[in-house]
Amino acid sequence: MSRDVAEQLKRELSGKTPQEILCWAAAFFVAGECALASSFGAEDQVITDMLEKEQLRIPIFTLDTGRLPQESYDLIEATRKRYGIEIEVLVPERAPLEALLTRYGPNLFYESVELRRECCRIRKVEPLAGKLSTLKGWICGLRREQSVTRTGVELVEWDGSFGLIKINPLADMTDAEVWDYILQHEVPCNVLHAQGYPSIGCAPCTRAVKSGEDIRAGRWWWEMPEHKECGLHREQHKPS
């Protein structure tokens, strides 16, 4: 796979529905070469539901940082049971995490953007990078509408950070369309959404948002908006 292939696919798949994109991915990649990275957000749950309804055998994995809210663990369990599926759980490597916490303490993310990013790197990015090195394509629930850091999201794009094709089947969907789908299909969702959390990450780094705030305003709320990514989805999504 290469950037050129991704560019060609982007043109070919322009205007397709999320379900059509997922069916294409299941046919295009050899079994096990493409997987859904789910953080169990509303969008990831929509994709999981679509995969099951279309009976597409695309595996799902998730990153357990060790700092998720209990409500997210409850949703992982509810999703396993509802769809009868196995979800691969990736955890951080023990030695660097122990060293980081020993040196800077358990709440280091509030000290500086650099320390926050180091925590995200060890707990999220490194486990993800290890998994992506075994794949040729990964599926994400990113949407252009989600934040100022995601306005350049494409349906299919080359992920230069990790060297594989990235598929964002919901890139064109609005927030209202996501929630219409969830209600219509009774998709299991995180109970925190109903408590004002549109985007849910680790417990200490997520708060509820106020009316009129950006969807991701509650993530690392003490930082400037342009810093609010954890390294899983990098610079490519900013407007050029």
Residues in touch with ligand SF4 (CB under 6 A):
65, 67, 109, 116, 119-120, 123-124, 201-202, 204-205, 230
Hunting for tokens 């799902």 — which residue is that? Answer: 60
> Considering beta carbons, is residue 18 or 92 the nearer one to ligand SF4?
92
**Which ranges in 170-232 belong to alpha helices (H)?**
175-185
> Considering beta carbons, is residue 67 or 82 the nearer one to ligand SF4?
67
- DSSP, collapsed to helix, strand or coil, labels residue 137 as strand
d(CA 31, CA 59): 9
| Closest approach of ligand SF4 to the CB of residue 72, in Å | 11
Q: Given strand 156-159, what is the order of strands in its sheet?
A: 88-90, 60-63, 34-37, 137-139, 164-167, 156-159
Annotated catalytic residue, options 119, 189, 202, 230: 230
Where would I find the beta strands (DSSP E) of 132-222?
Answer: 137-139, 156-159, 164-167
| Closest approach of ligand SF4 to the CB of residue 89, in Å | 15
| Closest approach of ligand SF4 to the CB of residue 83, in Å | 26
> Considering beta carbons, is residue 10 or 131 the nearer one to ligand SF4?
131
| Closest approach of ligand SF4 to the CB of residue 213, in Å | 18
Phi, psi dihedral angles at 36 (to 5 degrees): -90, 125
Give yes or no for a contact between 112 and 10, defined as CB atoms under 8 angstroms apart. no
65's tokens: 């940082």
Active site residue 119: no
d(CA 99, CA 92): 12
The residue with its CB nearest to ligand SF4 is 202
> Considering beta carbons, is residue 107 or 174 the nearer one to ligand SF4?
107
Q: Which residues are designated catalytic?
A: 230
